[in-house]
Chain A
Amino acid sequence: MREAIRQRMWFALFASCTAVVAAPVVVIAGLLLWRGLPALDWAFLSTPPAPGMREGGILPAIVGTLWLAAGTTAVALAFGLPAGIYLSEYAPRGALTRAVRLAIVNLAGVPSIVYGLFGLAVFVLLLKRVTGGMSIISGSLTLGFLILPVVITATEEALLAVPQTLRQASVALGATRWQTTVRVVLPNAAPGILTGFIIGLARAAGETAPIMFTAAYFYLRHLPTSLQDGVMALPYHLYVVATQIPNYPAAKAWGTALVLVALVFAMNLGAVLTRARLRRRRRW
């Protein structure tokens, strides 16, 4: 009986922690909708800003953010997925592997502004020929590297969670390690891998510092036509209109924030639903 009471107490405590964590999300969502919805209309979403920024819309920033999101996903997938697979399935126990793990944790602690400076030095200046200077490519590479630690860690954890028995069965049936990894382990780890992407992409879409020097302009008249073009981006746009422009209509600033969060939410939603469905199919 005492055990049961103790359990109730602990669980109640955990529930309150959860409430404290979840509450701000509700509050922020509420604030955004309340303050930002009035500013949203079709014109706001589909036209570029007018001279003086106080009128007109945010279309180029929306498009720019989408481009950057796509690019970041590509980079994170291209580097993070193989890295996670390597660490989980192939890496031998040893100093090198341990160093790699240490490197990943350290990368997570590097300030976003340092990534921005790194991106500036390497992608914008050094590799100007390839990336076109301040451009979608430079921004995507910088952001992709920024979220690498989260993506790799989530991938690795997801792969490790797949029971050894599945691998053993596969090998017993004659498959090579590669085939086992790709056809057996990976599909089963998909939900966890998606978690990494969800968190990573959400973060990347909202970052300002890394794109300030590598991709984001305050004002461009035209939408990007190639990956080497610079773009306007919602986080930077939000930062500037809310802090640098006197008498900018507050509703528009909230509206911009609302659009940004809604965009990320939409990107997440697809991933979350897919993950839920994949989880149900899990076989252990």
Chain B
Amino acid sequence: MQRRAANWAEFLGEKLLFCFGISALVLLLLIFLMLLKEGVPVFQHTAPTAFLLGHRWLPLSDIFGILPLLLGSLLVTLAASVIALLLGIPTAVFISEVAPRRLREVLKPLIEMLAAVPSVALGFVGLVVVGPLLREWLGLDSGLTALTGAVTLAFMSLPTIVSIADDAIGAVPSSYRDASLALGATHWQTIRRVLLPAARRGIFAAGMLGIGRAIGETMTVMMVTGNAAVIPKWPPLCRFWEAMAEFPGLEGFRATLDYLLAPYFDSVRTMTATIGAEMGEVVWHSGHYHALFAIGLVLFLITFFVNLAADLAVGRR
């Protein structure tokens, strides 16, 4: 009898788990539906191509072209992800494998503390510290640039990447490590050829979550990128040749780098900052309102396809 009762409860429990298990999927669908419902009406006013490729964003005059916003988001997110991954994964390896026990127990919570700094506060630090620094070093007119945004954003993603990647590496059974060392490999060889591949899944998950955070961040970018809806551009090509002409030599290197990174020294406006900054103004169900939701929809779809591509590329999980 007791067995029966236990079975019933377990059956119920398992069904409940299934419900919660797919809750993420349900939530995503609901958000997608909301974006669809509120965003699509804008296409009655502006054709999708005009919306996506139009290069003037003047919503107060009913002109809805989001190309500058798309490129702005792309610029900032790309750089932020690169910085965060290049810094984060080595850090995770260091904390997990190289650092002595005591140091690790200090470092891991310290880095998780970075997650505790609210986006508003980090935005301020970006505004007050990073911006002026970049302004000094690069001789710019203003510290409110795409680069400032990228650097500040990178630090928002870092705690996620470092912490979860660290857990993933630590989760590799010690038997793997022991076996590799016993076979004569050095610590580094063990890390590179045994542990990292074994932890590949978790590290990948950590990276995707971190990048996701960078894409979706609103407040911070709103405070440090300057929010000018201009299409990022490079100086005229002749400057590039001039830079290349000076090449072997530090000046040439610097000039080339300056040229390639030029768009980063200007202000940009991201899609998330646009939604965040303008939502307070809109009259509900006006053209502008729908346009903002349409931006959210575009953002959602881009993220979705990138994630889908990554998922397919990595193969069976």
The answer to the question of A111 belonging to the interface, with a C-beta cut-off of 8 Å to chain B, is yes
Instruction: Find residues 68-117 in chain A having any chain B CB closer than 8 Å to their own CB.
Output: 78-79, 82-83, 85-87, 90-91, 96, 98-115, 117
Among B31, B110, B171, B187, the residue within 8 A (CB) of A118 is: B31
Taking a contact as CB atoms under 8 Å apart, the answer to whether A28 and B125 are in contact is yes
Least CB distance from B162 to A in Å reads 7
Least CB distance from B70 to A in Å reads 14
Least CB distance from A99 to B in Å reads 6
Q: Tell me, in angstroms, the Cα distance from A237 to B22 when the chains sit together.
A: 35
Among the stretches A49-57, A128-136, A257-265, the one at the interface with B is: A257-265
The answer to the question of B234 belonging to the interface, with a C-beta cut-off of 8 Å to chain A, is no
Among B10, B109, B116, B173, the residue within 8 A (CB) of A261 is: B116
Q: Tell me, in angstroms, the Cα distance from A154 to B86 when the chains sit together.
A: 22
Taking a contact as CB atoms under 8 Å apart, the answer to whether B317 and A17 are in contact is no
**Known A113-B218, A205-B116; contact A86-B105, beta-carbon cutoff 8 A:** no
Among A4, A7, A78, A111, the residue within 8 A (CB) of B296 is: A111
The answer to the question of A249 belonging to the interface, with a C-beta cut-off of 8 Å to chain B, is no
Which residue on chain B has the smallest CB distance to residue A120?
Answer: B279
Q: Tell me, in angstroms, the Cα distance from A206 to B123 when the chains sit together.
A: 12
Taking a contact as CB atoms under 8 Å apart, the answer to whether A98 and B317 are in contact is yes
Taking a contact as CB atoms under 8 Å apart, the answer to whether B22 and A101 are in contact is no
A-B contact count (CB 8 A): 279
Least CB distance from B253 to A in Å reads 21
**Known A14-B91, A15-B98, A18-B95; contact A199-B163, beta-carbon cutoff 8 A:** yes
Which residue on chain A has the smallest CB distance to residue B304?
Answer: A106
Among A83, A85, A114, A238, the residue within 8 A (CB) of B23 is: A83
**Known A86-B17, A111-B217, A192-B167; contact A24-B155, beta-carbon cutoff 8 A:** yes
Taking a contact as CB atoms under 8 Å apart, the answer to whether B216 and A108 are in contact is yes
Taken residue by residue from 187 to 205, chain A's Cβ proximity to chain B (1 for < 8 Å, 0 otherwise) reads as: 0000010010011001101
A98, A108, A269 interface centre (most CB from chain B within 10 Å): A108
The answer to the question of A235 belonging to the interface, with a C-beta cut-off of 8 Å to chain B, is yes
Taking a contact as CB atoms under 8 Å apart, the answer to whether B317 and A101 are in contact is yes
